[in-house]
Chain A
Amino acid sequence: MINKKFESTAQAVADMKDGATLLVGGFGGSGLPSHLVAALTEQGAKDLTVVSNNIGAVSDGVAALISNNQVRRIICSFPVGPHAEDLIERLQSGTIELEIAPQGTLAERIRAGGAGIPAFYTPTAVNTELGEGKEMREFNGRSHLLEHAITGDYAFIKAHRADRWGNLVYRKTQRNFNPVMATAAQITIAEVSEIVEVGEIEPEVIVTPSIYVDRLIQVEAQHEGRVLVNE
């Protein structure tokens, strides 16, 4: 019988190795799998490449991994916020590399990674600093840049409700990067507020089908009295 539920966040992240590439869902604090991030700071895997939209918006996101010296490389669109000091300090000392990607390009690179598309062309970032050194090609009279897919060894994602197979539904704008990151990792670990029996989620409303989800961890719902505002 399929059962993807782990008893603790510590067990769910126990096999993570140094040097792994990790995708972390969320947009600031919204849809952030903060319990899994906390478990990883305890577990201690180092030299990680972390892909996540915001760095430093909240203290319990990727900023916690940076402060704990577990991160070697970051790919993100928005590396600014009240908790970005440790990132800036490590960039200046050269212990972290940062790649800034436009938010839509970041999302599409991850989507491509999950969909078996190795690279694609996009008009975004043409003639900008972020497009420098990238292959350019014209389609329909307009310049486009070649962008490469992103995949992860692990994805940490947050969802609202799961069933035992790992079908997922999300709550409001918690969804953000979570469904696309779920598709692009070897091992996707979903932090959810509720796990129900197979068949209890209406098939029409499932956003992430179970095939993308490897591990489930249930944590207490956070949507009571915890509003996280950037800056």
Chain B
Amino acid sequence: MSKDQKEVMGWKMPELASRLALDLEDGWFVNLGIGLPTLVADYIPEGREIILHSENGLLGLGPKPEAGEEDPDLVNAGKEPITLKPGGSYFSQSESFALIRGGHLDAAVLGAFQVSMHGDLASWKLPNATLGRVGGAMDLTVGSKRVFLFMQHCTNKGEAKIVEECSFPLTATRCVDRIYTNLAVIDVTEGGLVVKELAPGVKFEEVQERTAAPLQRSEALLVK
């Protein structure tokens, strides 16, 4: 983003979490990645039963415990204290990743450093970092039926995160289905990136200016 570009706000992260949650269907099994994506858990629409998976070995992730009720034997993939919903279950790491790799999860919602117009994802290691932190990201991206990204449209410095080709170390290639950012909801299709929806008050051109890959308008946007 060049200096003459004014700041475009779009959705705040809780609003984006709420927007993303609308696309999770009743009965789905969903993994929410460490960090920002965990926000989505608080915005599951009423009346929908969505079963959340945590890759350290549980299905049926519930809300955060009350202060003083934390149990060190009950944590999520970010090692934060959680609760288990009725109907939840515990299992080992090999089982947890068998269900991931085996294609049983309906969706994974993950963070990203970079995503390419072809759906390649870079999310585990910054260039020149001594250490990467892969965890379950590579298994989730190859195994989940759908991969949704939940992210800020640009870096803190205003650099584009949606690019033609990733320059950071890859997590997986051709794996991302949809990108949810503070500015827009963007589908990754065979024909390239298609803006499906714009955040309130955000113009298509403003999204394109902040994206280092060509964007197309969806039919719904063209009608508008």
> Does residue B74 face the partner (Cβ distance < 8 Å to A)?
yes
Taken residue by residue from 113 to 153, chain A's Cβ proximity to chain B (1 for < 8 Å, 0 otherwise) reads as: 00000000011111111100000000000000000000000
Verify B131–A79 contact, CB threshold 8 A: yes
Measured between beta carbons, the chain A residues less than 8 angstroms from B80 are 229
> Does residue B62 face the partner (Cβ distance < 8 Å to A)?
no
Verify A126–B72 contact, CB threshold 8 A: no
> Does residue A91 face the partner (Cβ distance < 8 Å to B)?
yes
Mark out the residues of chain B between 184 and 205 whose CB falls within 8 Å of any chain A CB in the assembled complex: none
Q: Which of A98, A124, A173 interacts with B56 by CB under 8 Å?
A: A173
Main secondary structure of the interface of B (DSSP, over half): loop
Measured between beta carbons, the chain A residues less than 8 angstroms from B218 are none
Q: B6-14, B41-49, B92-100: which lies at the A interface?
A: B92-100
Mark out the residues of chain B between 129 and 172 whose CB falls within 8 Å of any chain A CB in the assembled complex: 130-139, 142-143, 169-172
Verify B56–A102 contact, CB threshold 8 A: no
Smallest distance from the beta carbon of B58 to chain A beta carbons, Å?
6
Once A30-B79, A100-B132, A128-B170 are accepted as A-B contacts, the answer to whether A222 and B72 lie under 8 Å apart by CB is yes
Measured between beta carbons, the chain A residues less than 8 angstroms from B138 are 102, 104-105, 124-125, 128, 130
Verify B90–A104 contact, CB threshold 8 A: no
Measured between beta carbons, the chain A residues less than 8 angstroms from B55 are 103-104
Inter-chain CA distance A122–B137, complex, in Å, is 14
Smallest distance from the beta carbon of B107 to chain A beta carbons, Å?
17
> Does residue A43 face the partner (Cβ distance < 8 Å to B)?
no
> Does residue B206 face the partner (Cβ distance < 8 Å to A)?
no
Verify B72–A223 contact, CB threshold 8 A: yes
Verify B142–A175 contact, CB threshold 8 A: no
Verify B173–A130 contact, CB threshold 8 A: no
Verify B75–A78 contact, CB threshold 8 A: no
Q: Which of B54, B74, B75, B139 interacts with A102 by CB under 8 Å?
A: B139
> Does residue A11 face the partner (Cβ distance < 8 Å to B)?
no
Verify A173–B54 contact, CB threshold 8 A: yes
Verify B92–A177 contact, CB threshold 8 A: yes
> Does residue B84 face the partner (Cβ distance < 8 Å to A)?
yes
Measured between beta carbons, the chain B residues less than 8 angstroms from A122 are 101
> Does residue B26 face the partner (Cβ distance < 8 Å to A)?
no
Of B56, B70, B78, B101, the most chain A CB neighbours within 10 A belong to B56
Measured between beta carbons, the chain A residues less than 8 angstroms from B172 are 125-128
Q: Which of B71, B98, B171, B173 interacts with A223 by CB under 8 Å?
A: B71
Measured between beta carbons, the chain A residues less than 8 angstroms from B139 are 102-105, 124
> Does residue A57 face the partner (Cβ distance < 8 Å to B)?
yes
Q: Which residue of B lies closest to A80 (CB)?
A: B133
Inter-chain CA distance A174–B130, complex, in Å, is 30
Taken residue by residue from 169 to 203, chain A's Cβ proximity to chain B (1 for < 8 Å, 0 otherwise) reads as: 01111111111100000000000000000000000
Verify B142–A171 contact, CB threshold 8 A: no
> Does residue A5 face the partner (Cβ distance < 8 Å to B)?
no
> Does residue B125 face the partner (Cβ distance < 8 Å to A)?
yes
Verify B79–A229 contact, CB threshold 8 A: yes
> Does residue A215 face the partner (Cβ distance < 8 Å to B)?
no
Measured between beta carbons, the chain A residues less than 8 angstroms from B130 are 88, 91-92
Verify A123–B56 contact, CB threshold 8 A: no
Smallest distance from the beta carbon of A40 to chain B beta carbons, Å?
21
Smallest distance from the beta carbon of B122 to chain A beta carbons, Å?
9
Once A100-B134, A227-B81, A229-B79 are accepted as A-B contacts, the answer to whether A173 and B73 lie under 8 Å apart by CB is yes
Measured between beta carbons, the chain B residues less than 8 angstroms from A127 are 170, 172-173
Given contacts A102-B139, A128-B138, A180-B93, 15 further A-B contacts (CB under 8 A): A29-B72, A79-B133, A104-B139, A106-B93, A107-B94, A108-B97, A108-B101, A111-B94, A124-B142, A128-B170, A173-B73, A173-B90, A176-B92, A176-B93, A207-B92
Q: Spell out B's residues near A (CB within 8 Å).
A: 54-58, 70-75, 78-81, 84, 90-94, 96-98, 100-101, 125, 130-139, 142-143, 169-173
* 11 A-B contacts (beta carbon < 8 Å): A31-B73, A80-B131, A100-B131, A107-B94, A126-B173, A128-B172, A171-B73, A173-B58, A175-B91, A180-B92, A226-B72
